[in-house]
Structure 1
Amino acid sequence: MLLFVYGTLKRGGKYHDYLGEAVLEAEYAVAKGDLYDTGLGYPAMDINGKGEVQGEIYDIPEALWPAIDYLEDYSGGAATDLFNKVKIEVKADGKVLQTVVYVATMKEQLKEKVESGNWDVLAVEGAY
């Protein structure tokens, strides 16, 4: 299954190692939505936004999903989950791909909009 990543799981991100044996399918991909800085060292995406979010697409082996779900504080849709896992369409290399993405569950996570739609892992994460 394909995963669209837009923050700490991207190449250079502090949690990129969670992707283990995943295969990079697209270095540059764009999804509809808005990107926000949570103020906690990672971003959150709102798929209801009107902007574009830049990220990468990975083909995730089944064995890796439990660890990624744990990292993203997703247990299957509990009211206390920080992120929800949803299916979206993402554009990459002139194609539209069906992917999974983790999105914010609470408006409180959406602190400051990242106008560029790009979470610069080297600039942002170096500050934490």
Structure 2
Amino acid sequence: MLLFVYGTLKRGGKYHDYLGEAELVAEHAVAKGELYDTGLGYPAMTLSEQGEIHGEVYYIPKELWPAIDYLEDYTGGAATDLFNKVTIEVETEGKVLQTAVYIAASENLLKRKLETGNWDVAVTV
């Protein structure tokens, strides 16, 4: 399954190592949505036709998903999950790919909108 990453999982990001043996499918991909700084050292996105979020796409082997779900505080629908995992379309090099993505499960994460739609991987807490 493919995963669109837009924050700390991107190359150079503090949690990129979680991707382990994942295969980079697209260096530059764009998703429809809005990107926010959570104030916690990582971003969160929402789905929207209004904005664009820049990220990367990886093919994730199934054995890596549990660790990534744990990192993203996603259990599959618990009320306390910080993120939901959904399927979206992203564009890359003239192609459209179906990918999983983690989106904000709570508006409390959405502190400051990042108008550029691009997370700076050098951000740390």
Query: 1:118, 1:28 → 2: CA distance?
Result: 11
Structure 2 counterpart of 1:32: 32
Query: 1:49, 1:20 → 2: CA distance?
Result: 32
How much does 1:98 deviate?
0.1
Structure 2 counterpart of 1:91: 91
Q: 1:59 to 1:33 in 2, by over 3 A?
A: same
For normalisation by structure 1, the TM-score amounts to: 0.95
Report matched runs for 1:60-71 at 5 Å: 60-71=60-71
Query: 1:16, 1:84 → 2: CA distance?
Result: 19
Query: 2:120, 2:73 → 1: CA distance?
Result: 22
Query: 1:115, 1:74 → 2: CA distance?
Result: 26
Which residues of structure 2 form unaligned runs of 5+?
none
Equivalent position amino acid for 1:82 in 2 = L
Structure 1 counterpart of 2:114: 114
Structure 1 counterpart of 2:3: 3
Query: 1:76, 1:106 → 2: CA distance?
Result: 14
Tell me the secondary structure at the aligned position of residue 73 of structure 1.
coil
Equivalent position amino acid for 1:87 in 2 = T
- Sequence identity, in percent? 74
Tell me the secondary structure at the aligned position of residue 18 of structure 2.
helix
How much does 1:50 deviate?
1.3
Deviations 1:69-120 (A, max 9, x none): 0000000011110000000000011100000000000111000000000001
Query: 2:121, 2:96 → 1: CA distance?
Result: 25
Query: 2:29, 2:8 → 1: CA distance?
Result: 16
Equivalent position amino acid for 1:10 in 2 = K
Matched, 1:12 2:17: no
Q: Could you say what the CA RMSD is over the residues aligned between the two structures, in angstroms?
A: 0.8
Structure 1 counterpart of 2:53: 53
- Aligned length, in residue pairs: 125
Deviant stretches of 4+, over 6 Å: none
